[in-house]
Structure 1
Amino acid sequence: MLKHRIITAVWLIPLVMGAIFFFPVEYFSWALVAVFLIAAKEWGRIIDKRCNITQWSFTLTIGILLVALNLFVPSDEVWFKGHLHPIFLAIMVIGACWWAISLLFILSYPKSSTLWAKSHMFKSMFGQLTLIPCFTALVALKALSSPADPYYGGSLVFLVMLTVWATDSGAYFAGKTLGKHKLMPNVSPAKTVEGLIGGLLTTMLVVAVVMLLSPEQELGLVIVVTLFVALVSAVGDLSESMFKRVADIKDSGTILPGHGGGLDRIDSLTAALPVFTLIYIAFWM
């Protein structure tokens, strides 16, 4: 398993970094459609793991919505005079509200599952609320690049990814070595309070990198934003775990050997990216 994880990471990380930093935003947005179609197909298994028609109909719905976004909001219109396109902004605000609701579902699980566990409609809606705001956030951040600073948008995307990776890695190792108190045993039995604290502490390495490269930033604000985004990413992770538990699925898919499905790799990012983008608009635009 570890060998497969390493091999997958060796080819996947350069591919992701190349797309983030070197793809023009118009190509980047269309490449994302393919990635999110994979995630959508995997979410279809959460809706109904036995029915291929349900899985493909949800995938088709997500595909139509993402293509429509790319066509109706071209990459050069995502930002205008420092303001995010109202469609993108509305989607991300709705997404942020969804993550607040999802947190309530997580905290009250399994009781909350009685409201949606048997409803294909609700689970489809939750899938759209999970995936589409993440897509718009990725495109919006990437579109902040300019001829004067072609890597700026990619750097912001990478910063969020780095925060999520630091949180996940710190949580994994702290949980393995120190974990004694279960965080949300009904949702994800392997996660511990010590792991979450370890993950949050690890994100201070990201803060150090930001302050080193951009010392004019306000340290307190960077720390608060980093910790908040890390906590939100944990909600994204727990949310997918909750939905997979109800669906009786261990991994969302098998497309990434040693890592599971594409959805398993982006579950934390689905929450972290739209929330970070809204924070960026509020404090840095």
Structure 2
Amino acid sequence: MLKYRIITALILIPIVIAALFLLPPVGFAVVTIVVCMLAAWEWGQFAGFKSRTQRVWLAILCGFLLAAMMLSLPAYQQSVHLIQISGSLWLSLAWWIAAFILVVLYPGSAAAWRNSRPLKLIFGLLTIVPFFWGMLSLRLYGYAENHYNGAWWLLYVMLLVWGADSGAYMFGKLFGKHKLAPKVSPGKTWEGLIGGLLTSALISWLFGRYVPLNVAPATLLICSVIATLASVLGDLTESMFKREAGIKDSGNLIPGHGGIMDRIDSLTAAVPVFACLMLLVY
């Protein structure tokens, strides 16, 4: 399993970086919509859809919704303050605060939504739609001045998340004794969380030193810490929904890694939260 994970990562990471820097905004948006549709397909399991046809339609409807929202933007203006974008990012902030409460109170909190398919679909929309707008708004940030400015920002957030995940895994294996959320994800520990934060802090320092992000160090630190914590929450939230659905992986599209949601669960929280803090709050 580890062998497949490493091989897949070595293939996917260069593809992701190439997509960030080489695709034009429209192409990047289309690729992100496809990723969101695949995520919606997998979310169908969390919502209780057993039929493949139902899940296909869920993915198609998600794609149409995102495309319609994107086409509703004025052609001459792509400001993050447009309601389609800012509204989605603010909703994301509210949703992840609510998700934190659901995770902390689990399994008791599941009584409110366990048997409600509409609620689980709403949770899916609140996860996937703001993720799309977070990706797009960061990619378009400063695009008129420098086509690669937003790509650097997105790469930064992704490295933060990947670093937190890797650091948490290594520190958890070496020092993990105290469970972080045993009822949701028994493998995660407080020691792993601290290790993930330290790894992300190192990445943030290196990136801020050698890449022209043009942001105040204090602002970058605050946004980075909150985004890293959000990434852990995204992982725990998906684990909670998988536990309720009785599945180990969200899918099997990526060899050795499970499904699309298994790979982007942390990013679905970190990207829109970072975008909201960086572009709307600061």
TM-score tier after normalising by the smaller chain length: over 0.9
- Corresponding position of 2:222: 224
Q: Matches of 1:17 and 1:128 in 2, distance apart?
A: 26
Gaps (5+ residues) in structure 1?
Answer: none
* Structure 1 residues 209-242: Cα deviation after superposition (integer angstroms, max 9, x where no partner): 2331349744333322221111011111100000
2:43 counterpart of 1:46: no
- Corresponding position of 1:265: 263
* Structure 1 residues 222-265: Cα deviation after superposition (integer angstroms, max 9, x where no partner): 32222111101111110000000000110001010011101111
Deviation at 1:76, TM superposition (A): 5.5
- Corresponding position of 2:34: 34
Structure 2 residue identity aligned to 1:11: I
- Corresponding position of 2:64: 64
Q: Deviating runs (4+, > 4 A) in structure 1?
A: 214-217
Q: Secondary structure at the match of 1:77?
A: coil
Q: Matches of 2:86 and 2:262 in 1, distance apart?
A: 26
- Corresponding position of 1:13: 13
- Corresponding position of 2:195: 198
Q: 2:235 aligns with which of 233, 237, 258?
A: 237
Greater CA drift, 188-197 or 225-234 = 225-234
- Corresponding position of 2:273: 275
Q: Matches of 1:59 and 1:143 in 2, distance apart?
A: 25
Q: Matches of 2:239 and 2:167 in 1, distance apart?
A: 19
Q: Do the aligned residues in 2 keep the contact of 1:20 with 1:154 (CA within 8 Å)?
A: yes
Q: 1:182 aligns with which of 174, 179, 185?
A: 179
Q: Do the aligned residues in 2 keep the contact of 1:58 with 1:124 (CA within 8 Å)?
A: no
2:124 counterpart of 1:127: yes
Deviation at 1:54, TM superposition (A): 3.4
Q: Matches of 1:32 and 1:59 in 2, distance apart?
A: 13
Q: 2:152 aligns with which of 155, 161, 164?
A: 155
Q: Label 1:28 to 1:118 Cα distance change in 2 as closer, same or farther (>3 A).
A: same
Structure 1 residue identity aligned to 2:219: L
Q: Label 1:151 to 1:99 Cα distance change in 2 as closer, same or farther (>3 A).
A: same
Q: Matches of 1:12 and 1:215 in 2, distance apart?
A: 25
Q: Do the aligned residues in 1 keep the contact of 2:86 with 2:280 (CA within 8 Å)?
A: no
Q: Label 1:280 to 1:216 Cα distance change in 2 as closer, same or farther (>3 A).
A: closer
Deviation at 1:57, TM superposition (A): 3.2
1:86-97 correspondence runs (5 A):
86-97=83-94
Structure 2 residue identity aligned to 1:248: G
Length-normalised TM-score, structure 1: 0.93
2:86 counterpart of 1:104: no
Greater CA drift, 83-92 or 142-151 = 142-151
Q: Secondary structure at the match of 1:84?
A: coil
RMSD of equivalent CA atoms = 1.7
Q: Do the aligned residues in 2 keep the contact of 1:166 with 1:202 (CA within 8 Å)?
A: yes
Q: Matches of 1:74 and 1:2 in 2, distance apart?
A: 46
Matched residue pairs, number?
281
Q: Label 1:216 to 1:10 Cα distance change in 2 as closer, same or farther (>3 A).
A: closer
Length-normalised TM-score, structure 2: 0.94
Q: Matches of 2:207 and 2:76 in 1, distance apart?
A: 28
Q: Do the aligned residues in 2 keep the contact of 1:47 with 1:54 (CA within 8 Å)?
A: no
- Corresponding position of 1:254: 252
Greater CA drift, 24-33 or 215-224 = 215-224
Q: Label 1:266 to 1:178 Cα distance change in 2 as closer, same or farther (>3 A).
A: same
Give aligned-pair identity as a percent.
Answer: 40
Deviation at 1:13, TM superposition (A): 1.0
Greater CA drift, 119-128 or 67-76 = 67-76
